[in-house]
Structure 1
Amino acid sequence: MTLLQESTTRLRAREISGGESAVVGPLKAYHHETYVLSPPSGMGPVKLREPRSTSLWFDRRCFQSEEELLRGLKGRIDRVPDVVDVEGMGLQTFIEGRTLGAHRWRWGRRVPDAVFEQIVALFRQMVPITAETLHVERRCSPQDAPEDGDTDGFLKRLVVFVEEQVYAANRARFGGLFEELGVRDASLVRLGRSVAGLTERPFCLLHADLHRENFILDRRRGLWTIDWELAMVGDPLYDLATHLYLMRYPADQEDRMIREWCEAVESVRPGSSRGWQRDLRVITDFKRAQSVYTDTIRAALSLHDETGLRWAALPRVAGKLHDVLTAAAGPLGLEDVPGRREIMAALAHRHREYAAGA
């Protein structure tokens, strides 16, 4: 019996759908084991997904349930998955189409105008949704939620999350690697200071993970937004900064997105783009710094499999990590970014130490 057949998630999918032939998957996903299935009731295809026990979570989550959030967004955000009840479980409908990432081979990094305008419309629809108007249970306690407009407090909590839940929580296993890369405790202190002093802006709903794989184009060229698990309520400029950082638009489209985003959010809630000229750079610096911590750990993990260190992948992984470190050198105060060979040596050294202690 294979590992796939032993999966309790797959067994559950088979039971709900009434047979193996009605189950597709697992789909490619990092945090979840996901299947598409067709319940015998005749409703359309739905997704069954459960967290992988081996996944590391590097992002703060605000809402108790993505499905309950989607129920709350129904009628307020165009083209998000429906949630249907199947055998006592709320399951998301499966959106048929292709992600923007899958279309990259045709368009490069450029997004067609019709798609671009739908992304701007999504931002416009999120702005009026606030903590007071969205009656969905949240994870954070009232004491841990910054007051509306406290953009400094919002970003500070994200810095603290990186410090406590990413860096400190994994220091025993990866602390030596961070040290060899020149990333030390003082780096986070510097980051906290460098991202202070943001302009106040009214809070609203944020998706917080708007990249090409979370946008799906259906057959009618309608744009659907999926994976709302990292959604939160906070600074609207954070959502724009994250989106630009993840999308990697060409320079002219990035400028256009900033301009049209400002027009869209200001038309709904004046003040939502206040101070963007400085603060967009500050928040982007945080995103670059955050990537150092998450990407370093993921890089180290990606090089290890049941056979040991994947030597053939080492140069490529080290090259990507070098780019991440270079981009974050300013926010983290890294005086000397190690070269690719030094990063390769650090990753190999970490692997030997981990293998010896395993």
Structure 2
Amino acid sequence: MSPEAPEIPLRVAAASAALDAVEGPLSGYHHETYVFPLLAEAGTGFQGRWKCREPRANLLWFDRRCFESEERLLYDLQWRIDVVPEVARVGGVDLQRFIEGSTLGELHPSGEAVPGALFEQILGLFGQLGTVTASTLLVERRCEPQDRAEEGDSAGFLERLICFTEERVYEENLIAYEGLFADLGLDADAFRQLRKRVAVLRDRPFSLLHADLHRENFIVDPNGKLWAIDWELAMFGDPLYDLATHLYLMRYPQAQERLMIQRWCGIVEEIRPDSSQGWCDDLPRLFEFKKAQSVFTDVIREPQSLDVQGKLDRQRLRRAGWKLRGC
């Protein structure tokens, strides 16, 4: 990036050792991310490159968020979860260490098996997440206490996620996308059907969930260590929901998916009994919610991606059509 690039935020320019050393903005839906080495005087004791994340303007949020600050959450997780990037406050700005390496998706794309050593590290992360509960992690949360499901009420937890999708994704965008929703056979009855399905979820003790563990949110460093990034959707809730989201997004081969479920159940049960209770019946129900959530969000996201500098990108149109067809 050239030194005079006007899009570099002022706080990034002030902390970076040199403007031409700033990399970014890196691709991402929720944020623009800038990576840079710190000024010598600002970065005393902080080696390597760091990243600053700037929220994108006029962004539609399709997922419920629990915590006021991702960085504040990561500060409190530093000594509890060992795959969390280091966080530091420099010049009044919270920065995250940039993990040098490749995403798991770059190394092993969707549909491929994950090598054993990395697979074990993912299981280890689930184990560490299971030890973190709302009573042991006192981080400021966005939602009011009355808007949180009671401890262990898995059906109530998912009901709040359904409400968010119905109100913030479907209803708030109905005027703009009513015709498209109708053409695809999507209406409010879908949420009624979802509620019927999830009302019978079994109760499971709540723990911390990453809620977005997919191949692009895992970074493998040069030493083979797996790091989990992008914790902005983390929440407290039903641990089986975290597993369902992970399986839905990872697209493991069937044999490895079965192994993940088996091993996950053993790990979470040892940490907190009943954490996998009723998984055989409830996992398919949670998959149904993830599919429905994806349909409604993709119906909005995909049309937005078609306008490139005021022109219809027909190649993107074909990709969007196939994506929606596959939902």
Same fold (TM over 0.5): yes
1:103 matches 2:107: yes
Distance in 1, Cα, partners of 2:168 & 2:206: 24
1:93 matches 2:97: yes
Pairwise CA RMSD = 1.5
Q: Read off the aligned partner of 1:116 and give its amino acid letter.
A: F
Distance in 1, Cα, partners of 2:311 & 2:111: 35
Structure 2 vs 1, CA of residues 320 and 108 (structure 1 numbering), >3 Å: closer, same or farther?
A: closer
1:313 matches 2:312: no
Residue equivalent to 1:22? 21
| 1:26-45 paired onto structure 2 within 5 Å | 26-41=25-40, 42=43, 43-44=46-47, 45=49
Residues 37-58 of structure 1: CA deviation (Å, up to 9, x unaligned): 1111342211111111032210
Residues 9-68 of structure 1: CA deviation (Å, up to 9, x unaligned): 2x3312211421221111111111110011113422111111110322100000010101
Distance in 1, Cα, partners of 2:127 & 2:83: 14
Percent of aligned pairs sharing the same letter: 54
| 1:203-214 paired onto structure 2 within 5 Å | 203-214=206-217
Residue equivalent to 2:63? 59
Residue equivalent to 2:241? 238
The counterpart of 1:136, out of the listed 139, 142, 148, is 139
1:47 matches 2:46: no
Q: Read off the aligned partner of 2:99 and give its amino acid letter.
A: I
Distance in 2, Cα, partners of 1:319 & 1:196: 32
How far does residue 109 in structure 1 lie from its aligned partner after superposition? 1.4
Residue equivalent to 2:271? 268
How far does residue 108 in structure 1 lie from its aligned partner after superposition? 5.7
Distance in 2, Cα, partners of 1:313 & 1:171: 23
Residues 156-179 of structure 1: CA deviation (Å, up to 9, x unaligned): 000000000101111121111101
Q: Secondary structure at the match of 2:96?
A: strand
Distance in 2, Cα, partners of 1:74 & 1:49: 19
How far does residue 267 in structure 1 lie from its aligned partner after superposition? 0.7
How far does residue 151 in structure 1 lie from its aligned partner after superposition? 0.4
* Stretch of structure 1 that moved more, 177-186 or 256-265: 177-186
Contact 1:14 1:22 (C-alpha < 8 Å) held by counterparts: no
Residues 163-216 of structure 1: CA deviation (Å, up to 9, x unaligned): 001011111211111011111121222122122210000000000000001111
Residue equivalent to 1:153? 156
Q: Secondary structure at the match of 1:26?
A: strand
| Alignment gaps of 5+ in structure 2 | none
Q: Secondary structure at the match of 1:139?
A: coil
Residue equivalent to 1:84? 88
* TM-score (structure 1 length as normaliser): 0.86
How far does residue 282 in structure 1 lie from its aligned partner after superposition? 0.4
Contact 2:86 2:96 (C-alpha < 8 Å) held by counterparts: yes
Residues 60-83 of structure 1: CA deviation (Å, up to 9, x unaligned): 000010101001111110121111
* Stretch of structure 1 that moved more, 96-105 or 218-227: 96-105
The counterpart of 2:289, out of the listed 286, 289, 302, is 286
Distance in 2, Cα, partners of 1:165 & 1:321: 20
How far does residue 281 in structure 1 lie from its aligned partner after superposition? 0.5
Distance in 2, Cα, partners of 1:121 & 1:114: 11
Distance in 1, Cα, partners of 2:130 & 2:21: 39
Residues 304-352 of structure 1: CA deviation (Å, up to 9, x unaligned): 222322223322211110110xxxxxxxxxxxxxxxxxxxxxxxxxxxx
| Alignment gaps of 5+ in structure 1 | 325-358
1:72 matches 2:71: no
How far does residue 8 in structure 1 lie from its aligned partner after superposition? 5.5
Q: Secondary structure at the match of 2:54?
A: strand
Distance in 2, Cα, partners of 1:313 & 1:61: 29
Q: Read off the aligned partner of 2:72 and give its amino acid letter.
A: E
Distance in 1, Cα, partners of 2:230 & 2:207: 18
How far does residue 242 in structure 1 lie from its aligned partner after superposition? 0.2
Q: Secondary structure at the match of 1:5?
A: coil
Higher normalized helix content (fraction of residues): 1
Q: Secondary structure at the match of 2:25?
A: coil
Distance in 2, Cα, partners of 1:100 & 1:201: 30
